[in-house]
Chain A
Amino acid sequence: MVFFLQNIINALQWGSFYAMIALGYSMVYSILMLFNFAHGDIFMVGAYIGFGVATGLVTLSATGFIALPGWVILVLTILLSMFLTSFVGMIVERVGYRPLRDAPRASAAITGLMIGIILETGNLALMGARRVSFPPLIESVTYNIGGVFVTNKKILIVVVSLAFMLALHLFVQRTRYGMAMRAMAFDFVVVPLMGVPVNTIARLTFAIGSALAAVAGILFGLAYPVLDPYMGIVFGWKAFVAAILGGRGSIMGATLAGFLLGFIEIFVAMIFPSTLRDLIAYSIILLILVFRPHGFFGEPYSARLRL
Chain B
Amino acid sequence: MQLSVENLRVSYGRIKALHGIDFHLDKGEIVCIIGANGAGKSTTLRAISRMVPVEPGSRMTYMGQDLLKHPADRVVSRLGISHVPEGRRLFGNLTVLENLQLATFARKDRENIPADIDRVFAIFPRLQERVSQKSGTLSGGEQQMLAIGRAFMSGRKIMLLDEPSMGLAPLLMLSVFKALREINQREGTTILLVEQNARLALQFSSRGYVLENGSLVLQGNSAELLANPDVKKAYLGG
Which residues from chain B contact A179 at a C-beta distance below 8 Å?
94, 98, 101-102, 105
Instruction: Give the residues in chain B near A84, CB-CB below 8 Å.
Output: none
Could you give, for residues 70-89 of chain B, a 1 whenever the CB lies within 8 Å of some chain A CB and a 0 otherwise? 01111011000011010101
Taken together as a complex, chains A and B put the C-alpha atoms of A198 and B73 apart, in Å, by 8
Q: Given contacts A186-B93, A187-B89, A299-B93, are A196 and B46 in contact (CB under 8 A)?
A: no
**Is B52 a contact partner of A307 (Cβ separation < 8 A)?**
yes
Could you tell me if B136 and A300 are in contact, using CB atoms closer than 8 angstroms?
yes
* Residues in A whose Cβ lies below 8 Å from that of B72: 192-193
Chain B 149-179 near chain A by CB (<8 Å), digits 1 or 0: 0100011000000000000000000000000
In contact, A180 and B105 (Cβ under 8 angstroms): yes
| CB atoms of A193 and B85 under 8 A apart | yes
Kindly state whether residue A197 has any CB partner on chain B within 8 Å. yes
Cβ B85 vs Cβ A190 within 8 A? yes
Q: How many A-B residue pairs have CB under 8 A?
A: 85
B234 at the interface (CB under 8 A from A): no
Asked if A39 CB lies within 8 Å of chain B CBs, one says: no
Residues of B with C-beta under 8 A to A301: 93
- Check A154 for interface membership: any CB of B closer than 8 A: no
A104 within 8 A of B: no
Flag if A193 contacts B76 (CB, 8 Å): yes
Contact A180 B92 (CB under 8 A): no
Q: Are A307 and B46 in contact (CB under 8 A)?
A: yes
Known: A190-B85, A197-B73. A302 touches B92 (CB 8 A): yes
Contact present for B106 and A302 (CB under 8 Å):
no
- Decide: B91 and A186 in contact? CB cutoff 8 A: yes
Given the complex, which residues of B lie within 8 Å of A194, measured CB to CB? 73, 76, 102-103, 105, 150, 154
User: Nearest B residue to A185 by beta-carbon distance?
Assistant: B93
- Is B51 in the interface zone, CB < 8 Å from A? yes
Check A307 against B105 for contact (C-beta < 8 Å).
no
Q: A176 an interface residue at 8 Å Cβ cutoff? A: yes
Taking a contact as CB atoms closer than 8 A, the residue among B51, B74, B98, B136 that contacts A307 in the complex is B51
Q: Which of B71, B73, B103 has the most CB of A within 10 A?
A: B73
Q: Which of A180, A190, A197, A249 contacts B89 (CB 8 A)?
A: A190
Cα distance, A40 to B107, chains bound together (Å) = 37
Residues of B within 8 A of A186 (CB): 91-94
Give the distance in Å from the alpha carbon of A198 to the alpha carbon of B72 in the complex. Answer: 10
Residues in chain B near residue A196, CB distance under 8 A = 73, 102, 105-106
The minimal Cβ–Cβ distance linking B3 to chain A, given in whole angstroms, is 17
Q: How far is the CA of A189 from the CA of B92 in the complex (A)?
A: 14
CB distance from B215 to the nearest CB of A (A): 21
Given A182-B94, A299-B93, 4 extra CB contacts under 8 A: A176-B104, A193-B51, A302-B92, A307-B51
Q: Which residues of B contact A (CB under 8 A)?
A: 46, 49-52, 71-74, 76-77, 82-83, 85, 87, 89, 91-94, 98, 101-107, 136, 150, 154-155
- State the A residues within 8 Å of B (CB): 176, 179-180, 182-183, 185-187, 189-190, 192-198, 249, 299-302, 304, 307
- Of the A-B pairs whose beta carbons lie under 8 Å apart in the complex, a sample of 8, sorted by A's number, is A179-B101, A179-B102, A182-B94, A192-B71, A193-B49, A194-B103, A195-B154, A196-B73
